[in-house]
Each structure stands twice: as structure tokens, then as C-alpha cells.
């Protein structure tokens, strides 16, 4: 056997082994960098998540909220002088109520105008919708600890469930009482997506 060919073959084997070693080192290095990158992400505490979500909502336009006024609410509104009886129909069930000046300051009828067309059924059950004119941002509460999650379009993400609640700041107590009657939804459970942006967490989306 030609000794030169043996030596040449050995060189090839040695070169291949060297390439494998270099490749392994590069992969290990990349893995360490990936781990280091994951560890560099700051933690997102529950209190911080609450502040981020509230700030997100506070950055949106403030608005009123819809009130479902049932038969109890109709009587409460009469007592509070938000509207007054202006017409009773022959069947003694139907009636029209007109918003007072005080009522016009606090709410608007979702059907438009200033006349409430009260049209209950034979059992006296009826309702109408109005929107408060006091503009507020929702209150955020009961935020869960954020958890790592996969969010489309986000490299490093977390999510957390929370409650979006009606903010009654500036709303008179009689109108608050009407809003607390059955048929009204004053809080909604939602989810927030957080994204890591330049080393800091921010709200990516609300669902």
C-alpha cells in the first residue's frame, strides 16, 4: 500500500473531525446565546401588568356606558327626576316619558330624541336603553399573573386575564342604582397580550 495515500487519508479524517468539533462548538455557542437572551427578558409582575393595562385603557378615548332600564329603573328614574310621565295609552300599559333637564345632562336615549316609549308586555315587563354622558375610562382589576405564551407576530410574549369594569366616577348615585339592576353588564372578563419591546413590556392587544 502506498504510504502517501494512508497519510493523505488520515489528514482527511482529521480535517473532518476538526470540522465536526467546530460545528458542535458553534451550535453550543448559539444555544448559550439563545438561553442568555431568554434570561435577559425582564419579569412581568401582576402589579406591573395591572398598571400597563390601565395605562393602555387610559390612552383610549373616554366614554359613557349603556344602561338597560327595566321597570324598577323606570320608577327610580321618576323618583330621581330624570324623566316625567307625559302620556298614558288606553291600554293602561303603554306610556311615554320625557327626559327632564336633569335627565338630559346625565344620559341620552339610544333610540334618539328625548321621549321614552315605554312598551311593556302584558305582565308589565319592559325596558329601554340609555347611554350615560359622563365619560370615563374602564377600571382594571383582578389581573392574573402573566404567563409565557405564543402570540402571532410577537417574539417574546406573555398573556394575562383581567376584569374590565364600569367606572362610575362622576355618575350620580340614583343612576348608579339603576345601572345595578338586573339586565346590566358592569364587568367583562378579558385577556391582555404583552410583547417585549426594546427590553420593556408593553400591551400588544386586548381580547
Read off the pLDDT of residues 127-137 as tens digits, 9 standing for 90 and up: 999 999 999 99
Does 75 lie in the same domain as 55? no
Q: Find the range with the poorest average confidence among 39-48, 69-78, 111-120.
A: 39-48
Name the domain count of the chain: 3
Looking at the fold, whether 105 and 143 belong to one and the same domain comes out as no
- Same domain, yes or no, for 118 and 141? no
Helix extents (H) in the chain: 3-40, 46-58, 71-79, 101-106, 173-179
Instruction: Note whether 108 and 142 are same-domain residues.
Output: no
Same-domain check for residues 59 and 154: yes
What pLDDT, on a 0 to 100 scale, did the predictor assign at position 7?
A: 43
Cell numbers found for residue 64 = 359613557
- Please tell me whether residues 202 and 173 are part of one structural domain: yes
Is the pLDDT confidence value at 27 over 70? no
Q: What is residue 9's predicted lDDT score, i.e. its pLDDT?
A: 44
What pLDDT, on the 0 to 100 scale, is given for residue 12?
52
Q: Are 146 and 186 members of one domain?
A: yes
Q: Give the 3-state secondary structure of 175-192.
A: HHHHHCCCCCCCEEEEEE
Residue numbers of the domain that contains 128: 66-132
Per-residue pLDDT band at 22 (split at 50, 70, 90):
very low
Q: With beta carbons less than 8 A apart as the criterion, state whether 38 and 155 touch.
A: no
Same domain (yes/no): 141, 194: yes
Distance of alpha carbon 86 from alpha carbon 102, whole angstroms: 16
Name the phi and psi angles at 153, rounded to 5.
85, 5
Interval 35-62 mean pLDDT: 86
Q: Count the residues in the chain.
A: 207
pTM beyond 0.85, yes or no: no
145 shares its domain with 188: yes
98 and 181 assigned to the same domain: no
Using CB atoms within 10 Å of the CB of residue 173, give its burial: 0 to 12 exposed, 13 to 18 middle, 19+ buried.
exposed
Angle value at C-alpha 169, between 135 and 132, nearest 5 degrees: 40
What is the distance between the alpha carbons of residues 109 and 124, in angstroms, rounded to a whole number?
21
Please check whether residues 25 and 126 belong to one and the same domain: no
More reliable by pLDDT, 11 or 99: 99
Contact 174, 80 (CB under 8 A): yes
Q: Are residues 3 and 27 in the same domain?
A: yes
Q: With 50 as the cut, is the pLDDT of residue 5 above it?
A: no
* Rounded Cα–Cα distance for residues 89 and 21 (Å): 94
pLDDT for the residue numbered 13: 45
Amino acid at each position: 500500500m502506498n504510504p502517501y495515500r494512508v497519510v493523505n487519508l488520515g489528514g482527511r479524517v482529521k480535517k473532518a473531525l476538526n470540522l465536526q468539533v467546530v460545528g458542535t462548538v458553534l451550535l453550543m455557542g448559539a444555544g448559550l446565546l439563545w438561553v442568555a437572551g431568554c434570561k435577559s427578558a425582564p419579569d412581568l409582575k401582576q402589579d406591573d401588568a395591572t398598571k400597563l393595562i390601565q395605562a393602555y385603557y387610559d390612552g383610549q378615548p373616554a366614554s359613557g356606558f349603556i344602561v338597560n332600564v327595566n321597570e324598577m329603573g323606570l320608577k327610580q328614574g321618576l323618583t330621581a327626576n330624570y324623566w316625567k310621565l307625559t302620556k298614558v295609552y288606553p291600554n293602561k300599559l303603554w306610556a311615554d316619558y320625557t327626559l327632564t333637564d336633569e335627565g338630559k345632562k346625565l344620559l341620552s336615549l339610544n333610540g334618539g330624541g328625548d321621549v321614552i316609549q315605554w312598551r311593556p308586555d302584558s305582565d308589565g315587563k319592559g325596558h329601554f336603553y340609555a347611554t350615560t354622558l359622563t365619560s370615563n375610562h374602564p377600571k382594571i382589576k383582578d389581573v392574573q399573573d402573566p404567563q409565557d405564551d405564543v402570540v402571532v407576530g410577537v417574539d417574546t410574549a406573555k398573556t394575562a386575564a383581567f376584569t374590565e369594569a364600569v367606572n362610575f366616577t362622576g355618575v350620580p348615585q340614583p343612576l348608579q342604582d339603576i345601572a345595578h339592576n338586573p339586565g346590566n353588564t358592569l364587568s367583562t372578563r378579558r385577556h391582555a397580550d404583552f410583547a417585549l419591546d426594546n427590553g420593556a413590556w408593553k400591551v400588544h392587544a386586548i381580547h
